[in-house]
Amino acid sequence: MAHFWTGDDPTLTFETYTQQADKDCYIVFKCYSSSSKTTKLTAVEFSTNGIDWSPMTDLWPGEGEDITSLAASPAGTNHTFAWDSNNAVDLGPSFDGAVKARFTIKNWDNTGNAVQVESAWFTLDFAAPTYTLGWPHGEVISDTTPELHRNASDSSPPIFTKWEIDDDPLFGNANGRKQTAGYSTNSTWTTAALAVTGTWYFRCMCKDSSASANEGAWVSGSFTLSTPIKPYSLTDGVDTVAGFIVDETITTIANRLREYEADGAFNSGEANIVEWVHRKPCQVLLRMIDGPDPITGTFDRYAQCLTWMRAKDLLDIHDIGGSPIGFGGYNITYIPSDWTILTIRVINRPGRINLLYFEVLLEEV
């Protein structure tokens, strides 16, 4: 009885290369023959330079197909090879680059010749993004709602970043002030108001958008919060001035103690009697910028501040979130109820004729 085998050589084409979530690679290929036959792959290899070739680690059984028995047809029959591509013998767990596959196909009954076919270059990415912390790492700042920055690069954008900030260096929320932000594509994160002065620790972790979502380790930094204040707007309850702060905000608060000698001898070491104790009022010095209105030509913010100063209006100072600002620390929090403008001074900035720089000194009532 005649059989269907012939001496025709089979061949194949590469269809797709799909990286899996676990960093394996599924290679879909199509087997061809002049009639419906069974074929086999006698070699499966990869190269990262197009010159040197190494065997691919086959994940079958469990994933992919048995490459020793593959149907073929004149129209082509699809099959999937499951490559354990990220193991240490093949590409390794942190590979990120181009690779080629080379398969050798032959008739299952060993008739005819073996045919070797190379794929096009394709990319596999098993590496986490490279990233470092930016501002305010290593800085001394006076911004209670700082915008944290990171620098990152990866071959599989976009990059996702998550954040943590805490005044506990172990990020264990020991003082109950830890803040977190989940993964997003933003390269920055603006914190909620930081409650205390001192050292703050922040860190980020990044992952890429590859199929395996390659994730790096935490990268940590710190900064010093010297003044828990971020002025944004002045208001008298009706009118508001939102100034552009162009320099550091200077704040002062001090206790003053007056004493005199009880015996009038003013001898060193003799008992001094406290006459009274009082606290010096809080003061805030803002350096702001203003520009002329295109229609009236007036400096609106500057003019409004002058009006408040002349009228001795009671003012509030708010942060960018709309909350009153004040003075804080590990053991104190103090927010003055009202402020007045003591003085306004124009700051000379040569060469900037279309802008007005001015300094506003406020004192609590």
How many helices (H) does the chain have, and how many strands (E)?
1, 27
- What is the per-residue pLDDT for 257? 54
What does the alpha-carbon distance between residue 71 and residue 78 come to, in Å, rounded to a whole number? 8
Q: According to DSSP H, which parts of the chain are helical? A: 300-311
Question: 141 and 179: one domain?
Answer: yes
- What is the per-residue pLDDT for 331? 45
- The answer to whether position 4 is within a domain reads no
Question: 286 and 216: one domain?
Answer: no
CATH of the domain at 333: 2.40.30
Q: Which of 125, 156, 177 is the last residue of a domain?
A: 125
Question: 205 and 135: one domain?
Answer: yes
Question: 144 and 255: one domain?
Answer: no
Segments forming the whole domain that contains residue 86: 11-125
- What is the per-residue pLDDT for 347? 84
Mean model confidence pLDDT for the chain:
86
Stretch 88-98: mean pLDDT: 96
**Burial of 33 (C-beta count, 10 Å sphere; 0-12/13-18/19+):** buried
Stretch 261-283: mean pLDDT: 60
Of 141-150, 286-295, 339-348, which range is least confident? 286-295
- What is the per-residue pLDDT for 305? 93
pLDDT exceeds 60 at position 86 = yes
Supply the pTM of this predicted model.
0.60
Count of structural domains within the chain: 3
pLDDT exceeds 50 at position 285 = yes
> Which has more pLDDT, 313 or 260?
313
- The answer to whether position 190 is within a domain reads yes
Of 37-51, 198-212, 265-279, 302-316, which range is least confident? 265-279
Helix, strand, coil share (%) of the chain residues, nearest 5: 5, 50, 50
Question: 204 and 243: one domain?
Answer: no
- The answer to whether position 275 is within a domain reads yes
Closest CA to 282 of 324, 253, 256: 253
What does the alpha-carbon distance between residue 217 and residue 203 come to, in Å, rounded to a whole number? 10
**Burial of 170 (C-beta count, 10 Å sphere; 0-12/13-18/19+):** exposed
Question: 109 and 22: one domain?
Answer: yes
> Which has more pLDDT, 255 or 47?
47
Residue pLDDT, tens place only, 193-221 = 888 778 999 999 999 999 999 999 999 99
- The answer to whether position 46 is within a domain reads yes
